Amino acid sequence: MKTLRGLLLLALATALTGCHTVLMSPSGDVARQQRDLIITSFILMMLIVVPVIVATLVFAWRYRASNQKAHYDPEWDHSTIVELMIWSAPLLIIIALGAITWVSTHKLDPYRPLDRLGPGRVVTVDTKPLEVDVVALDWKWLFIYPEQNLAVVNELAAPVDRPIHFNLTASSVMNSFFIPALAGQIYAMPGMETTLQAVINHPGDYWGMSANYSGAGFSYMNFTFHGMSEGDFAKWVAQAKSHGDTLDQAAYAVLEAPSERNPVQFYGSVAPGLYRSILNRCVQPGPSCMNMLRVPDSGGGGEASVSSESHAAMPMAHPQ
């Protein structure tokens, strides 16, 4: 029996050696700060948990029935020192955790522009974030780069050490955008917009996913995030723009239909104002459109609709 137990433990240890705990070894500064917050909170809690466990074992052994040497005092009912220890230590831990929570909640607010790229590396005033509009579809991800005028399905790329400003929405149901190595997850909802600020500090290919169940194809709603040098990112943009397809109103209507296991797909150009039309549910004119002006049939929204969309869009409250 002992031999079998030892073999099972050895097999478990061998299997765990292949695990990669990306949350504890992230490549983005925001995720790294979140990792540090987890570690700090864990250590503070262990300051209470470990002594309690040790004291429980010590008391059980010292005051066992067979130990005749242990002091027996049936009239004992109070100790000031014990009371101070019981109440002061947890109180101090709660105060520390409360202070850390207050500071980190504001410092790591996903809507707050980044003030650093890493430890000791501040964001200069002339740094321009990379803008990426994200649309959660059924069951795939659409990434629109307004500055580069291109769109990609199920693939995302960004230069190393450049802030990234994500604007997120969804086409039909609530979803959650999550790249564990980059930053924490944030929800995407139809008719609403959320924001996420992040930066990747090391080149590589990272796993992105949907972290909120959204139907039958949820399990395949994954994508690859590429952290690249500025030169490699420029080549990636050129490759994407070499595809002649244009993401306009008609193309988006086809793409929006539910589908699973979608391959990476590039669109070399994007109709003006398309993301705002998606956000305001105005790609197809109808009662669900939140614009006061009708979306032009030429696709994408146009200048008139963009003007009204800026007032009609409903930003989502900060997620918890």
Q: Residue 186: is it exposed, middle or buried by C-beta count within 10 angstroms (0-12/13-18/19+)?
A: buried
Residues in the chain: 320
What integer pLDDT is reported at residue 285 of this predicted model?
74
Q: Which pairing describes strands 116-118 and 121-122: parallel, antiparallel, or unpaired?
A: antiparallel
Question: Which pLDDT value is given to residue 139?
Answer: 92
Residues 197 and 111 sit within 8 Å (Cβ to Cβ): yes
Tell me how far apart the alpha carbons of residues 248 and 46 are, in angstroms, rounded to a whole number: 55
pLDDT at 171: 93
**Which residues, listed in sequence order, are joined to residue 266 by a DSSP beta bridge?**
152
Q: How high is the pLDDT of residue 2?
A: 60
pLDDT in tens, the chain (320 residues): 566 666 666 665 555 455 567 878 899 999 999 999 999 999 999 998 998 999 999 988 988 888 888 887 778 888 888 888 888 988 999 999 999 999 999 999 999 999 999 999 999 999 999 999 999 999 999 999 999 999 999 999 999 999 999 999 999 999 999 999 999 999 999 999 999 999 999 999 999 999 998 888 889 999 999 999 999 999 999 999 998 789 999 999 999 999 999 999 999 999 999 999 999 988 877 777 876 444 444 333 333 334 344 333 444 444 44
User: Which stretches of the chain are DSSP H helices?
Assistant: 2-16, 29-62, 80-107, 230-241, 249-256, 274-279, 302-312
> Taking the model in full, what pTM does it have?
0.79
| Number of helices followed by number of strands (H, E) in the chain | 7, 16
pLDDT of residue 1: 57
Distance from C-alpha of 262 to C-alpha of 162, rounded to nearest angstrom: 28
